[in-house]
Structure 1
Amino acid sequence: MFLILTLALLPLGLIALIASLQAIRTADLEKEALLRVSVTQSARKLTTDLASDRTALMLTANALSTGSEGPEMCERLAIFLTSHDREGGRYYIYDRSGRRLCGSSQAEPVGLPPAARFHAAPAQLLPASGYLLSRAVSNNGRIAALAYYSRSYLEAITSPTTALQNRQLSLRQGEQLLIVSRPLSNLQGHSTSLSARLDPPDILLTMTLRDPPVTLARMLSLFLPLVMWFAAAAIGWFVVNRLLIRPLVVLRRTVAAYHPGEVLEPTRRIRTPAQEIVALGDTFRAISEDVATHEAEMAEGLETQRKLTREVHHRVKNNLQIIASLISLHARAAHEPEAVEAYASIQRRVDALSVVHRNHYAELEEHRGVGVRSLISELSASLRGTAPAEARRFGIQIDSDNLHISQDVAVPIAFLLTELVELAMLSDPRTAMRISVQLEPGRDDRAVLHISSPALRESDEMSARIKERYGRVLTGLSRQLRAPLEHDAAVGDYAIVITVIP
């Protein structure tokens, strides 16, 4: 039995070995990527510091060459370099005759002959003394400013932010090689090196990582637990799959295929000695029976509620129509023009409310709310029908997306349109109006309502009407819509943001 079990687990051991080797390869790739990022960051940091210091050197050299600045320029340079280099920032400034104008108190490192102080190269490696030299020559070529960077400073600047152990940093310029830092331990084995070019471009920063040696104990500690884990996992999976996972999968599929109103019976398809799973299946069956009962009761109650709602809207619409008819009868019996206009104004507002209920009643079956386009169209026709005689040819152009709004939004919109249309008809009945409702860009729950007409432009007559009555009504309606009503007096445009049903 032991041999059979061993042979059965042999393929799993091979799979584990391949997976481990693949994991090692992935770790090597990740280490190489981390090394690439680290050496790039280190090269960028060193280049930035060198460029900043070279700029300071150039400014000092130019100032000293023209005589515009004195020793205080050297003091500022010393303070600037000291802020970068904790060792004090060694610098030395010479003229063409070899005379030192100013510099650090420490002795100048060896390795640079006096004749090479005005060399054209902006940077130079000095492996013998262990320094990196940065050079800046004044624009007129009379002054040379030199800055020396020690190994400790270079290591501090080029040290990567990531924790890389056993690394070595070096700078190479042609045949010159300057070792910046040594690895923490002298381990033998494979190493990985990557380089990044500095500015000036003839210097390379190289970072080398050394891997620890592979030992037999390490190999055994890596593969033996994997083999044991896979063996235990295989046996445990077999037991758990037979007694737990398969019954739960069957139960999940049965529950996932459940449709409201039907009764679940998952225990007929489950065969398991686990009584907890059997009890869970019985619980699902009992819950589905209760849900089916409640679904039937809710469907019946919803149908009753829908009938009552339709009846309420129908009765409200009929009552509003009766009120509008009574107002029309009284208007016919009136003889004064002011009374006739007052009756017509009241009738227009009652008709507006009736239009909202009629459109809500029409869309009630689909529960989409009130259609904006149909609401504005029917309201425009009603307003033109009750308009004064001189405004019977008042044109209304409608441009609206296929949008729907709730009744709470439809009522103030209907009154808002009624007020603005009436205001436009009274101000200039010979003009026309354009009503536009478009979605806001990038939004599906907000739209902008525009009411534009030349009659709504700024005038003394219109200002008097707004101040007398319409202004308070428009302000109250905009508060109901919870949005500011914006008025462009130059073009005669009113705009407000409304909430629509997505």
Structure 2
Amino acid sequence: MFLILTLALLPLGLIALIASLQAIRSADLEKEALLRVAVTQSARKLTADLQSDRTALQLTVNAFAHNEVDPGMCRRLGFFLTANEDSDGRFYIYDRNGRRLCGSAAPEPAGLAAGQRFDREQVLLLPQSQHLVSRVRSDDGRMVALSYYSRAHLESAADPATAIQNRQLVLHQGERQLVVSRPGSVFPGQSSSLSARLDPADIILTMTVREPPATVARLLSLFLPLLMWFAAAAIGWFVVNRLLIRPLVILRRVVAAYEPGEVLEPMQRVRTPAQEIIALGDTFREISEDVATHEAEMAEGLETQRKLTREVHHRVKNNLQIISSLISLHARSAHEPEAVEAYASIQRRVDALSVVHRNHFAELEENRGVGVRALISELSASLRGTAPAAARRFAIQIESDNLNISQDVAVPIAFLITELVELAMMLAPLGSMHIAVQEEAEGTNRAQLIMRSRGLVESEAMSAHLNDRYGRVLTGLSRQLRAPLVHDGEAGSYAIAISVLP
């Protein structure tokens, strides 16, 4: 009878065993979901902390670049960074000459050479000094701000709200690796790891969690006497499936469908008396609220920065218009032809700078640089409008690829075109000018600017003008562009290589 009963209850025992295995698998899925949420939250918290400091550094370094620094700005920046880090937050501001303009009294951590301060990487890991350095360059590229973060601060900033024991955090950047957690925080054995990318995307945060050891008691729990399992098999399966497994599956689906910026409300769909699942749902809701708040704050800060930048450009444009108007008023009161032409020459150069600024401001929101074709077209129209009376019929032909250049390149190019067009108008007022800009080869980020006119053919009058003033100006502009200005006297052309944006 005992054998018959044992064989009869054996299928129920197998069902109980399968239910136990499924519960373990669901727990593993829950643990994986918790680990995924934790590493994602840690990455976003660390990204938000770095972005907040970068905004403060950006405003300060731009103020230094525009000579708008008040005596207390450096002290306030140090107070802000120290308050955020809760330690000796170290920061330093340098110019291109390596001169420190502002910074902490503590020595700068090793690992970043002086020649690497203006490199393109926004964030760099320094494993040898156990620091992470964040650098921000000014808009004009003349200043750089460096902020160093210690391993202890990175661990505190990346600490997730989800309680996960025996975890280890490691930052990766290419072949560089920085262990953020305290040494020995993860014991040897099996472990699970998940990674999330920070902003910038070349930094990867990896969280490793130790798996619980396989004990004898845990293994024996799967092979308890079948008679004890059979007594509570039906009720136990119903309870586990209805009150635990299904709520966990629903909770996992809600979390999997999460989109950044939303506020999760998983407990509106999950009905369970299990306090652990309710607490887990509340934790997901709190995490999503924190993420939504941080994203709103970041969006607000970005909008404020855009408004400030737009205001600065608006003031510059107004100042250029005032200068142009003053020159025009003085030119009207002049009676000597030489004075009138001098005022017109000055106004042409002011207009050239104004054209560059307008084109840069038009592309500011998209951050695409200055369009070469639009810049030369508007500049040519302005030059023909202010041409001397003898050169009113001077024609300018434009042939340009669809290229973009930075403002640092656009300003000397505008002045170079202005100087050569003015020289050609003086020497051949009834002639024309052909301006061509062609990309050298795809992927080289270089282009050739060629200007050809009958007035630029080698002659005694041209040599006199070059020796008088134009030669020195053209030489200075070619130095700004860091390329030789090649003159073909027989063809009447000037050519120079310029840098274009990718």
Q: Please, what TM-score do these two structures have when normalized by structure 2? A: 0.45
Greater relative contact order (CA < 8 Å, ≥ 6 in sequence): 2
Greater Rg by CA: 1
